[in-house]
Every structure is written in structure tokens, then in C-alpha cells.
Structure 1
């Protein structure tokens, strides 16, 4: 790294260029770190922003973060306000011991995706780390994180909740949701219209309720798919709602399934969705990604949303 040459641009513009490149193209971060010392200092803050198990399309993998922590080259405080979006999983049993450590080291996380269920890890192992968080977005198996012993402040600021449990009962789901006082967005894997109506009645501040369907098709004729007669209700496919890529896109301010649902609801209220009883997004709507198709694409195909 060499800072002997003066920059061609004003420092503020130069920093914005490099940081934008790192956010939009995280695969370039490794190279950007070696441009110069000043660029290294800027990009290092972004390096640990979004942590995923394998680092694909994110800024950093959990192994890279753990190695950096265990190297003792930086104080533990260095990592506290840098990790903002964290995905933890346990598809490999060898990864389970790292989960409590990562949670405890990242108390400023605002967006947590934890694809671990109650059969893989005990709540008491992760409770100390969870207790320190003030989350805004949470994706989790609620049977893992919602026993009665979890402290209320953890849930106090959550606005977006993606529930990974399959087909919770009416009472179970509403009992979960009332524990989140400021919820505005909920996604759940279910297909019961009475359940949707119940949730929308109980959670009056809810702005978006998404039912994520298992598989690659909702089945049946589209015109026969029932709605909850509430424009806050949207049906989508888990092909997208479960996707880590979609979560990464959303964590960086891009068009994720939440944003697509919001735009769809706004268009519906303006009378731009035909028929007005339709509760799913189609390609012709020009909203983000086509979230309802009999054969959804294997990769995201972004569409610029209409104003």
C-alpha cells in the first residue's frame, strides 16, 4: 500500500467511490484493501458489515470474522459496531460452537438471520448474546428464540419478522406476534386465509403480511387463489423469501421481497393492480422480481420498478 501519490479526487468523493464499489461488488473488497492505507481504512469498516456462513455475495464469511477476532490483532471493541447484518447457521455441527461467540462479539447487529432450529442448539447457549441485541429485523425459527426466558428488550425494536417455522397454529402465531410491540412487516410459511385475517386483526399496526408458500408453485388456477380481503396481505414463494441472496440484497438497501411487497400494496391502493382482488405479484406489475410464477427463474432477474 502506498499513499505517496496525491489522490485525483477530493477525499470525500474518493471515499464515496471506493465505499460504493465495496458495497455493490463485495467480491472486490479483498483487492480494494490493498489500494492504499487510506482506502484500507475506509473499506475495512465495510468488510465486516454483512456476515454470512460462507461469504458468498456478502462482505465477509463467519470464518474470516472469527479468524480476525482470534488473531488478537485488533481489540474486541473494533468489531462491535462494524457487524450490522449477521446470518448464522448450523448445517455443519462443527459450526455450532461458534454461534454463541459470534453473537456475543457483535452486539450492534440490527439484522439477524439465524437458520438454526431448537433441535440443534439450546437457548441458554445463545441467550447471553441475544440479550445484548436491539434488533430491527429478525429471521428465525421462533420455537428457538421465543421461550418465556428471553428478555423483552431483544424484541422491542423489531419491525421486520421472517418466521422460518412451518405452519404455526393460529394461537401459536398470534402469541408470538404480540411479543413484538412495533412490528410492521411479518412473513410466515402458511396458507390459511382465516389465519391471515386473524393476524391482521390482532396486529393493527402491521403494514405488510406475507404468506410464503413452500415449493415452486402455489398450485391451482391463479384466479382461484384466495385472498384475505385486506390490501396488506401478499402471497409469495419461498424460492425467494427463504433465499440468503434476497436477504443480502435487502440488508444493503436493495430490492428484496419486503420492498417488492410494499410497492405491490402501494400500487394496489392506487388501483393499478388488476383484478383488485389479486394478492400476488406478477411480472407485468414491473415490481422488482417476479415473485409468483409456475417456474420461477433460478437467479434473480431485476426489473426497474415503475414510479
Structure 2
């Protein structure tokens, strides 16, 4: 029993390294190898198991969960911030919640939040943000500003689904910032895949890794320095 107790203490924290929160849970609901929690199931875990407060990868679509995660030392977040904060006007990227964030993917869409709004400019206030991604290509309109003001940023990814790439629309051709964005090797446009975030959570090659490799190739001259777009053939493993 003593050996089993020690093994439990060593192994159990790995179950909570990535926390998945869902708005609606059905019996046995899970997200490919991850138990999906509701607020009702997560609160007792946080209270009873202190190690759970060291989780680093939250993925969420549960509204009104700010009080659940605000004290966690989060590193990665994949989130719609309108739901997290309760309303667009309440979004605050200066909150201590973001003090250790390095990787951030934003699920919000232009129909709910205007990307020209200053709230998005405040992404530059996140002190250790190195990797930023937008799920909707329309957010390209604020990318140039963020590349200029977020000095810790190493990769900025604008993602688009299969319909964008197959129609040849996953590009900035004709955009007002086309010339300047294309010159910055940190700017990348690429497709997305379902549950791609899970590859990273398990140490695999996720889209962050692919974008990093692409940036490095542009810097080294292995590919055209102005080639910001990773084609569907390069991201086929993500679909």
C-alpha cells in the first residue's frame, strides 16, 4: 500500500497537466484522451488536490469560468475571451491570469468582437507572450500593430480552415499591410486541424512547431524570405 501511494502521488498530476472545460457534459464525455470537466467537477479537484493548480494547458469553451482559472499558473491558453470574461468590454489582458502565458490562441470571431478594437492591441501587454494565433483570418488587420508592439513575440499565426486554403484565400494578397507583413518572418498563415492543440499537449508536432520551423527557414534563406504562407501540402498532417 505504501508503494502504491507513492506511485499515485507521482503519476496522478499528469492527469491534470491539461485541463479541458466544456459547457455541456454528457456521461463519459471526453476529448481524445482528456477528461472533460464542468465547473462542478473541476472545483472539488482544485480544492482537494493542490498539484492540479500547476496545470499548464487549458482548453475551454465554458462560459463564466474566470473564477475557476484566474489563480492557475497557466502557460498555454486556447480560448474565446468573450466567454471567459463574460463580455467583450470586460476583456483585460493585463490581468495576472496572463502573467505567465507564453502561447495563446484566440477563438473569438469578428462578428462578436471588432479586431480593430483597442482590446486586441492590449495583447502586447502580456509580458512573456512568444506565440500568438488567431483562428479567424480577419484578424490579419491588427497583426502589423502587434508585431511592432509585442516585443517578446516570436511567432504570429493566422489560421484558416480548408475552405480558405482550397479557394486560395489563405493569403494577404491585396491587403493594405501586405508588403510589411510579408517582410516579417514571424508572420505565418496556415491551415488548422481538429484537436491540433492536443498534439502539443502530448509533446507532438503541433502547428506551433510547424510555424516555428517555417520562421526559421525564412530567416536562414532555406525558403523565400517573403513566403509567409504554409501551403496545404505542408499542413496536411493537421487535417
The verdict on a shared fold, with TM-score over 0.5 as the criterion, is: yes
Change (3 A) 1:256 1:200: same
1:75-154 matches, cutoff 5 A: 83-92=16-25, 96-98=38-40, 101=43, 104-105=46-47, 106-116=52-62, 121-122=63-64, 126-146=65-85, 147=90, 152-154=95-97
8 Å CA contact retained: 2:170, 2:229: no
Residue 232 of structure 1 corresponds to 186
Distance 1:232 1:107 in 2: 32
Shift of 1:129: 2.4
Q: What TM-score results when the alignment is normalised by the length of structure 2?
A: 0.72
Give the unaligned 5+ runs of structure 2.
28-36
Deviations 1:126-181 (A, max 9, x none): 33322321111111111123436898222101010011112341225524413422
Deviations 1:113-136 (A, max 9, x none): 1123xxxx33xxx33322321111
Q: CA RMSD in A?
A: 3.4
8 Å CA contact retained: 1:162, 1:188: yes
Q: How many residues align?
A: 211
Work out whether 1:210 is the aligned partner of 2:143: no
8 Å CA contact retained: 2:171, 2:229: no
Q: What TM-score results when the alignment is normalised by the length of structure 1?
A: 0.58
Distance 1:197 1:271 in 2: 22
8 Å CA contact retained: 1:107, 1:129: no
Deviations 1:14-51 (A, max 9, x none): xxxxxxxxxxxxxxxxxxxxxxx96895477445524x
8 Å CA contact retained: 1:234, 1:261: yes
Distance 2:55 2:21 in 1: 12
Distance 2:67 2:168 in 1: 48
> Larger Rg: 1 or 2?
1
8 Å CA contact retained: 1:131, 1:151: no
Change (3 A) 1:234 1:99: farther
Distance 2:232 2:92 in 1: 44
